[in-house]
Structure 1
Amino acid sequence: MSRSLCFVSFFLFWMRFGLCLNQEGRYLEQLKLGFDDPDGFFSDWNDSAGDTPCYWTGVTCSESGTRFVVSVDLSNANVAGPFPSVLCRLSGLKFISLYNNSINGTLSDDLSTCRSLVHLNLAQNLLTGTLPHSLPELPELKHLDLTGNNFSGNIPASFGLFQKLEVISLVDNLMDGKIPAELGNISTLKQLNLSYNLFSPGQIPPELGNLTNLEVLWLSGCNLIGPIPDSLSRLSKLVDLDLAINKLTGPVPISITDLSNVVQIELYNNSFTGELPAVGWSKMTALRLLDISMNLFTGSVPEELCSLQLESLNIYENELGGNFPEIISNSSNLYELRLFGNRFSGSLPKNLGKNSPLTWLDVSNNLFTGEIPATLCEKGALEELLMIHNSFSGELPSSLSKCRSLKRVRLGYNKISGEVPAGFWGLPMVSLLELAENSFSGTIGKTIAAAGNLSTLNIANNKFSGDLPDEIGFLNNLIEFSGSNNQFSGSLPATIVNIHQLTKLDLHNNGFSGRIPTGINSLRKLNELNLANNKFSGNIPDKIGELSVLNYLDLSSNQFSGKIPTGLQNLRLNQLNLSSNSLTGDIPPVYAKKIYINSFLGNPGLCGDIEGLCDGKNVTKNTGYIWLLRSIFALTGILLIFGLCWFYFRYKTFKSNKEATTIDKSKWTLMSFHKLSFSEYEILGALDEDNVIGTGASGKVYKVGLSNGETVAVKKLWAGSKPGGFDDEDVENGYSGPGHDNGYEAEVETLGKIRHKNIVRLWCCCSTRNCKLLVYEYMVNGSLGDLLHSSKSGLLDWPVRYKIAVDAGEGLAYLHHDCVPAIVHRDIKSNNILLDADFGARVADFGVAKVVDGNDKAGKSMSVIAGSCGYIAPEYAYTLRVNEKSDIYSFGVVILELVTGKLPVDPEFGEKDLVKWVCTTLDQKGLDVVLDPKLDSCFKEEICKVLNIGLLCTSPLPINRPSMRRVVKMLQEIGSVNPMKFGSKDGKLTPYYYDDVSDHGSVV
């Protein structure tokens, strides 16, 4: 009996063993356990399919009878965790792709045990640290892609030992040092992609000319200096050469024309000088795309270059001149020609566009003369026609009135005359039509009703006449209409009040008459209304006072009568001018001040409490006294200024002497977190009041220029703790209450150990017993809040705002998901997002940051609130418990700021904050009222998607807010839908956007 039981047990064990996963399956199960898998990518990774993993998602096995794993592809799986070294136990593994996930940590030398590996793709992850020196020990490796990570340090010289490598891509990392000459030893290499790394200034290694099999060489944004080495001419198989966005100098060597197979050359944004090679271009029969823009090239454009079958030629922003070669018209595939910002003269090639699908043409800011070629839209593909600031003459070609593909037209500041063809007014795709500063005549055609996409119409300073057609009221998307300094007459059409998107209406210096149309109050977005120097009459409508965003109102030099409407007191006007009319009665009390006297002059029947205004007589009578008083005040002012200057210099000398005697530099302690090229003494010597660039609750910030030419920002913290409690202003500045050390310890503890491209870099800290200094990298464009909510907000177009959102999101995701333990910032706001010269964003100010234990899901309890008004998550305000969800709410508010252009708290919202205002306005008035009117409507779809992410982040319930990792993925997915709009040029990452380049250097 016992033998039978033993046999049965053995049989069952054998059956179970036979159904178990094989060893490779168990290795992959270990991989699965090491990953966070929010989307369930590994849901079918189990033994239900048998004893082999060959049918699992992302796993491929060999076709042989042994069926061992040859490929593991987890691309776009949204998994997170360290690199799974267990993969190297799969002896037959040839292909690994973990592309576009959240793989973090470092790569260890264990990777060199994947002896069969041919293809390794770890691009678009969060890997850090240095590159393993042992990678070249992989004997079969042909493809290595580490793009879009945070690798730092030098490229190991050992990389020159790869035996079969064909592709290496390290694009967009944090590599430093110089490009090693040893890379020139990889004779098998076909693609070398090192763009957008923080290399030390260095020349292009001449040894790269030894890579005779090379087809792609990308070295853009690598801090390269010096000339292009002649040795690159030996790269006979090269197809794509990108050396853009560096500091390369000297002329382009004639040897570059030996690259007979090259299709694309990118040299833009360098410091090249001299003339282009006059000959040799005929050897480059494969060349299709050439970009040498933003350099210092002189001379003329070689005719031999223009005789090639070019598709795209960008040579804008140089010092090129002379006539442009006529032969460019023979390029049958030419779709892009950008010449703006040079000194070209003469006529444009008369057959330009006749033989090619010309799509983008920008010749602005040159010295061109003659007529506009009639053939520009011969193939019906022209979308952008930008010709401002030249001397073009003649009439507008009638052929352009049939160019239904046109989207942007800028012909301003030329000498074009005659009537505009009727069909041209009604082109259906045009969003921007600018004809300003020419000699156009005739009327605006009724066909303008068909221009349904028109958002900006600028026809100022011409000779247009007649009535405005009623059809102009059909332009539902019109935002700006400038028609000043023309000869228009008649009354304004009543339909003009139907243009509900209108923000600017400027028709001054014309011959309009009649009354302002009733219903003017329906133009709720109107920001500027200028009807000066016309013949308008009747009363000024009281309804103008309902235009809540109006800040510029000029109705001067007309024939308005009656009283000034009291409703104007409701407006917050920066400019008001009602002078030279026939107004009577009292001036509304808000404007009855002397500073407004010029706004009401020339109205004999107008009276108020402004001295010298009544009856219009005292102004003349008191002129002599006024001049006497002005002279006395001027003399007194000069003496006062002289005295203040004397006192300032005496005080400065005294202060410097005092500081020199009280600061003992030997007692300062320096703690550095990076390799420094300056000393603490250089910092201490520059802490002068003249260098202060900001003051807050925690201290002063100084801008310090160093002797090495670099600039740093130094925060000098207030000595001791701030006494007493804390108020709203303290909260706004991140102060956390009595006894707080102004964030010094938190800042040092947090930033001292963080290395991420989207976190502001803390160079070092200096301290004594009574003073503490924090030295950061200097961000030339300041904070997002200061820029977004100032007169410079026009610099932030939508592609730039989108980039800022992604950058800041990646920095915050790093704090939440890749720091162990996680870090909660607690004061995310637009003022704590700093911008570099290229508008790259960095998260800053960690003075109230806290470490959060991953085991405490509810969050750590705080004794007081930290954060800023309008950004604080609702649950944090009443529970005082902080976790990552609090930061996500604050980040959502920043997104709403970027989309709306509005402050998080504003009197315009009443008792609401920005989040509640957006939600309410969307329900009641729709999307268009929410979006920032400064943003180009062509991005509306993308903006709407980002707005939805912001609303998701600001959900009242923390559980409904996505993780920061998920937020970043959603933002990136929006950008990947149309990379040409979001910072991609010919498929390559670049800080220049096509939507910007089209007008770069062409802004009126």
Structure 2
Amino acid sequence: MSRSVLFVFLLLLYLLPEPSLSLNQEGLFLLQFKSGLDGPTGALSDWNPRDVTPCNWTGVSCTATGAVAGLNLYNQSLQGPFDPVLCRLPYLSNVSLSYNYINSTLPDAALSRCSALADLDLSMNCLVGPLPAALASLPRLRRLNLDSNNFSGPIPAAFNGFPVLESLSIVFNLLTGTIPAVLGEIGTLQELNLAYNTFSPGPIPPEIGNLSALRNLLLTDCKLIGSIPPSLGNLRKLANLDLSMNNLEGPIPETLTELSSVVQIELYKNSLTGHIPEGLGKLPALRRFDASMNLLEGTIPPSFFDLPLLESFHLYQNHLAGGLPASIARAGSLSELRLHMNRLNGTLPPDLGSKSPLVVVELSQNQFSGEIPGSICDRGSLEQLMLIGNFFSGTLPEGLGRCKTLWRVRLRKNLLSGEVPAGMWGLPHVSLLDLMGNSFSGVISPSISDARNLSSLTISDNQFAGEIPEEIGALTGLYEFSASDNRLTGPLPSALGRLAGLQILDLHNNSLSGEIPREIQAWQHLSELNLAGNGLTGAIPPELGGLAVLNYLDLSNNLLTGSIPPELQNLKLNIFNLSNNQLSGDVPPLYASKGYRDSLLGNPGLCGELPGLCPASSGGPEGKQHLIIFLFIIALAVLILLIGVVCFYWKYGAYLKASRWGRKSSRKSWRLTSFHKVTFPEREILDAALDESNLIGAGASGKVYRAVLSDGSTVAVKKLFRPGKNNLEGEKDAAFEAEIETLGRVRHKNIVRLWCCCTHDDHKLLVYEYLPNGSLGDLLHGGKAGRCLDWPARYKIAVDVAEGLSYLHNDCVPPVVHRDVKSTNILLDADFRARIGDFGVAKAVEAAKSMSVIAGSLGYIAPEYAYTLRVSEKSDVYSFGVVLLELVTGRHPLEAGELGEGDLVRWVHRTAEEKGPAAVLDPSLGSEFEEEMFRVIEVALLCTSNLPINRPTMSKVVKMLLGGGVSGDGSVAELDGDEGMPPQPAPLRGETAWA
């Protein structure tokens, strides 16, 4: 019996369910928080409800006793509301939900229960609504980061109640009102960062000077007005003061000379007046000082350059006068000196650069005189020497010929003379050498073949002599060679034919001889050819007619013979001049019109129907016979035209009556505005834009048609949609005006060429050069899927686009922001050279500070633009960074989002961190160029930095892509000094963190 009972007991014990331990209450709270959020597949997959505690879950940290103390869910692509259930975790002290898509308001009352919270980071989300006043009641809160959200309304007055807060950062939001004085009551505050908000104009509260513990005060672009309060001088622990990009007036307070701990002072782009206080040059920790773009007067205090740590000194675009202090030669840490656009004069210290690791010297547009110091590159780090528009004289120092780090040299419009040091012609990294407007002599050295990175050589208006060396043919990246108004002799070297990328060749007013080489047929990108005023002989090569983009041709005042090649009729010339040569024969029909008469004068042997060109063209029996034939041809042409009109209306009359386009066109003629010389009639353009079979693309602003013209050329015609009352930014014809305003005046090898525009009432057509390989986006993500783009082609496209954007940002006056940089707006010619197109939303920088709506495309829009509608050159830099990632990964910017990985930028961060950088590379590219692709990724991630002040300028991007700026260990060279804050460290390849 006892055995039976024992057997039954054991059987029941076996059949009972296995005992399990349940998840504790804190884990249940966390699961409730997770349940309200969506995320990619696999996000927080290890949050297992069967666990006893959540202490081993992703992002969760616990105390020694097992209580949840921290939650770090950075960059998990989570979206949804913020659930205040987190405040029911009694020991939760640190919360980071940064870089997600949390999109609710912050519940004010519920937050007051987070009594243990010490660090709250909700930056880079989509939070909306007012700032919760309850945050100020949290007794232990030390760090509050709400950067890059959509918080609106004023800063609550209750924010004066933070008991122990040390850091308050609310950068890039939509805050209104003015900066409240109550912030000066947070006595524990060490960092106050309110930059890039939409505040109403208001002053800096003097009460900020009461924050005796403050180390960082960042009020960039906060609509500040009035003067800088003297009370800021009380901030004796302040290390970083940034008041840039506001409307501050008045003098720099003398009290700022008491900031004994300050490392960086940024006051640029205000309206400050008066003198620079002498005492600022006695701040022992000062490294960076920038008061550029103000109205400052007086002289530069010599004491600045006795500072042992001073690295960057920017005072450009002011009204400063006087000389450069001799003490500058003693500045042992000075690397950036930017003083251009002032009234400075005198000579430079002869030992400038002997003790300073100078990288950038920009003194253009002043009144300096004397010689360029021979020691300026003694430390071997000089990269940019910009001395345009001064009175420098004497010869160039020999040391510049040994300065291998130089990549940008601009010395135009000075009084320099003598021979250029031989080594300077062949500097290995120089991309721009501008010596125009001096009195240099000697020859162009054959050592120029070593300057393999040279893209622009401008030496016009000097006294250079001798022949152009054959070695110039080694400069395969040269796109401009301007050497006009010199004493060059000899023939044009045939090696010029190797410069396939040449776009501008200007050698007018020299003593060149011989024939124009037929190798010019390789110049398929040449837009300007000026050989006027030489002694060139022989015939005009018919190969000139094959240069499809040539729009400026001047061969006047030479000794050219023979006839005008009929092939020249293939060109679309804006400037055409063959006058004063020895040409003969008949004038090709295209040029036999009065409009070209002055272009052909001085050639006694030319014949045609133009008065003064051919004496036999009128009078006498032969002339009368020609006249009769001519009149007969005219009559026949009129008859044919009438028959054609009748046939056309018989076939298409009904269509024209029904067509609004046709009705309006019949009442008033179209108007053609040309930006280059065009020869095709507008009717051919209209026909192309009416025929839907020519459609090759469509976008938000209009349709694009391919038009093959009667002369055999092909153009692209963009027909803009009719403006409606809801059109972009509420401006009638905004896209049309932006396009012609930008493209009508720019001339650059990497900007698409706008031939002309046709307008008629509310119908508008834009006529561009046709680029047969379409857009980069189509090649990367369309049916061809990038098969024809190997890595060298993609790399060249990246450099082309970077140079085009650099031109828009730095060389246009005023600078231009594209606002819609993306792969589908990058067009490729037959050789896969890139052009930037579609300027329908482009703006001049000064006009683009704040937009009423977002322009751009998803996946490319910079964070600050999406949140604040403020746009700058750095918005284009971000978009370009996304394009770089497209080129390297082969992925569309939104493809990662479809896979649950967020946008492309986040996907690259996450994948490279988890699997290594090789995992993000397009597998079709192979591994041959892997190191170069890693470097491009580093540049891309710099460009897509969250804060625009941490992104490089496009000119710096060009340099980094060409091999500079990112060192072998992944560190990043200093950015241009006008970029505000120093950059964050670059992500490193290999095993270092990419997040």
TM-score (norm. length: structure 1): 0.68
- Answering whether residue 421 of structure 2 is matched by residue 467 of structure 1, we say no
Q: Would you say 1:55 and 2:61 are equivalent positions?
A: no
Q: Which range is displaced more, 523-532 or 28-37?
A: 28-37
User: Any stretches of 5+ residues in structure 1 without a counterpart?
Assistant: 620-694, 697-724, 752-759, 762-774, 810-827, 847-870, 872-886, 893-934
SS at match of 1:443: coil
1:790 aligns with 2:792: no
CA contact (8 A) 2:882 2:904 kept: no
CA contact (8 A) 2:140 2:164 kept: yes
Shift of 1:245: 0.6
In structure 2, what residue type is equivalent to 1:791? R
In 1, the alpha carbon distance for the partners of 2:942 and 2:125 equals 22
CA drift of 1:616 comes to 9.9
Letter in 1 for 2:197: N
Is there any run of 5+ residues in structure 2 with no aligned partner, and where?
A: 620-663, 666-691, 704-720, 752-802, 810-815, 823-836, 863-873, 911-935, 959-974, 979-995
Which one of 27, 33, 36 corresponds to residue 34 of structure 1? 36
User: Matched residue of 1:463: which SS?
Assistant: coil
Distance 1:784 1:889, change over 3 A: farther
Secondary structure of 1:281's partner?
A: helix
Q: For residues 374 and 984 of structure 1, what CA distance do their matches in structure 2 show? A: 42
Evaluate the alpha carbon distance shift between residue 445 and residue 959 of structure 1 in structure 2; reply closer, same or farther with a 3 A threshold. closer
Measured at CA, do residues 267 and 77 of structure 1 come closer, stay the same or move farther in structure 2, by a change above 3 Å? same
Alpha-carbon distance change, 123 to 443 in structure 1, aligned in 2, over 3 angstroms = same
SS state of the match for residue 429, structure 2? Answer: coil
How much has 1:254 moved relative to structure 2? 0.9
Q: Does 1:305 align with 2:304?
A: yes
Q: CA deviation at 1:551?
A: 1.0
Q: Distance between the aligned counterparts of 2:187 and 2:861, measured in 1?
A: 48
- What do residues 618-648 of structure 1 show as CA deviations (whole Å, max 9, x unaligned)? 99xxxxxxxxxxxxxxxxxxxxxxxxxxxxx
Counterpart AA for 1:316 = Y
Q: Which residue does the alignment assign to 2:263?
A: 263
Instruction: Look up the equivalent residue of 1:177 and give its one-letter code.
Output: G
Shift of 1:35: 3.2
Which one-letter code corresponds to 1:23 in the other structure? Q
**1:483 and 2:487 aligned:** no
Aligned twin of 1:966: 903
Residue pairs, 1:618-697, within 5 angstroms: none
Which residue does 2:358 correspond to in 1? 358
Match of 2:104 in 1: 105
Which position in structure 1 is the counterpart of 2:143?
A: 143
Deviations 1:507-564 (A, max 9, x none): 1111111111222111111111111111111111111111111111111111111121
What are the equivalent positions in structure 2 for 1:741-890 lying under 5 Å apart? 747=726, 785-786=739-740, 789-792=743-746, 798=805, 831=840, 837=846, 839=848
In the alignment, what sits opposite 1:173? 173
Answering whether residue 538 of structure 2 is matched by residue 538 of structure 1, we say yes
Distance 1:184 1:613, change over 3 A: same
**How many residues are aligned here?**
760
Distance in 1 between residues matched to 2:14 and 2:205, nearest whole Å: 68
Q: How does 1:54-93 map to 2 (within 5 A)?
A: 54-62=55-63, 64=64, 66-93=65-92
Once residues 397 and 538 of structure 1 are traced to their aligned partners in structure 2, the CA distance between those partners, rounded to angstroms, is 42
Q: 1:632: which partner in 2?
A: none
The amino acid across from 1:536 in the alignment is L
Structure 1 position 576, deviation (Å): 1.1
Aligned residue type for 1:54: C
Deviation at 1:352, TM superposition (A): 1.2
Distance in 1, matches of 2:332 and 2:201, equals 41
Deviates more, 1:20-29 or 1:792-801: 792-801
Q: C-alpha offsets along residues 554-607 of structure 1, whole Å, 9 cap, x if unaligned?
A: 111111111211221222111111111111222222222211111111111112
CA contact (8 A) 2:507 2:532 kept: yes
Asked if the contact 1:39/1:77 (under 8 Å) is kept, the reply is no
Measured in 2, the distance between the counterparts of 1:612 and 1:964 equals 74
Deviation at 1:990, TM superposition (A): 9.9
How far is the alpha carbon of 1:85 from its aligned partner? 3.0
Partner AA of 1:29 in structure 2:
L
Aligned-residue offset at 1:61: 1.8
C-alpha distance in 1 between matches for 2:739 and 2:528: 24
Task: Report the alpha carbon displacement of residue 31 of structure 1 after superposing the two structures with TM.
Answer: 3.4
State the partner residue of 1:948.
887
Name the Cα RMSD after superposition: 4.4
**Structure 1 pair 546–943 and aligned structure 2 pair: CA distance change class (3 A):** farther
CA contact (8 A) 2:953 2:976 kept: no
What whole-Å deviation, never above 9, does each CA across 1:825-858 have from its counterpart, x for those lacking one?
xxx9753677773646858599xxxxxxxxxxxx
**Aligned amino acid, residue 744 of structure 2:** S
Distance change in 2, residues 1:7/1:567 (3 Å) = farther
Residues 232, 373 of structure 1: alpha-carbon distance in 2 compared, 3 angstrom cutoff? same
Task: Judge conservation of contact 2:896–2:907 (CA < 8 Å) in 1.
Answer: no
What SS class does the counterpart of residue 559 from structure 1 fall into?
Answer: coil
Does the CA contact (< 8 Å) of 1:121 and 1:145 recur in 2?
yes
Q: How far has the Cα of 1:285 moved from its partner?
A: 1.2
Which amino acid in 1 is paired with 2:510? N
Match of 2:564 in 1: 564
What SS does structure 2 have at the residue aligned with 1:585? strand
Query: Is this contact kept in 1: 2:553–2:573, CA < 8 A?
Result: yes
In 1, Cα distance between equivalents of 2:615 and 2:6: 128
**Distance in 1 of aligned mates of 2:326 and 2:617:** 67
Contact map agreement 1:181 1:208 (CA 8 A) in 2: yes
Preserved CA contact (<8 Å) 1:601 1:613: yes
1:134 is paired with a residue whose SS is helix
Secondary structure at the counterpart of residue 464 of structure 2? strand
Partner-residue secondary structure (3-state), 1:72: strand
Counterpart of 1:74, as a letter, is L
After TM superposition, the structure 1 = structure 2 runs for residues 377-388 of structure 1, keeping only pairs within 5 Å, are 377-388=377-388
Cα contact 2:386–2:410 (8 A) shared by 1 = yes
| CA apart distance, 1:989 | 7.1
Structure 1 range deviating more: 327-336 or 281-290: 281-290
The alignment-based identity, stated in percent, is: 42
Q: Does the 8 Å CA contact 2:221/2:244 hold for their aligned counterparts?
A: yes
The CA distance in 2 between the partners of 1:800 and 1:124, in whole Å, is 31
Structure 1's 970 and 526: CA in aligned 2 closer, same or farther, altered over 3 A? farther
Q: CA deviation at 1:733?
A: 8.1
CA shift for structure 1 position 87: 2.5
Using the TM superposition, give the Cα deviation of residue 982 of structure 1 relative to its aligned residue in structure 2, in angstroms.
Answer: 7.4
Measure, in 1, the Cα distance between the counterparts of 2:733 and 2:296.
30
- Is the 8 Å Cα contact of residues 885 and 940 (structure 2) preserved in structure 1? no
**Tell me, what secondary structure is at the counterpart of 2:272?**
strand
Whether the 8 Å contact between 1:806 and 1:972 is mirrored in structure 2 is: no
Equivalent residue letter for 2:884: K
Contact 1:779 1:834 in 2 (8 A): no
Q: Secondary structure at the match of 1:583?
A: strand
Would you say 1:226 and 2:238 are equivalent positions?
Answer: no
3-state SS in 2 of match to 1:525: coil
Q: Counterparts of 2:548 and 2:817 in 1: how far apart (Å)?
A: 30
Alignment of 1:259-658 (within 5 A): 259-278=259-278, 280-281=279-280, 283-309=282-308, 310-615=310-615
Cα distance, 1:351–1:533 mapped onto 2, change above 3 Å: same
- Residue-by-residue CA offset, 1:462-485 (whole Å, 9 max, x unaligned): 000001111100001111111100
SS of equivalent residue, structure 2 residue 133: coil
Give deviations 1:843-900, integer Å, cap 9, x for gaps: 8599xxxxxxxxxxxxxxxxxxxxxxxx9xxxxxxxxxxxxxxx869999xxxxxxxx
Partners of 1:257 and 1:988 lie apart in 2 by 28
Deviations 1:178-234 (A, max 9, x none): 001000010000000011111111110000011000000001101111111111111
> Matched residue of 1:92: which SS?
coil
Equivalent residue, structure 2, for 1:902 = none
Q: Residues 212 and 841 from structure 1, CA distance in 2 versus in 1: closer, same or farther, beyond 3 angstroms? A: closer
Alignment check: 8 A CA contact 1:374 1:397 kept:
yes
Give the conservation status (yes or no) of the 8 Å contact 1:362–1:998: no
1:387-430 deviation line (CA, Å, top 9, x unaligned): 01000001000011111011100011101110011111111011
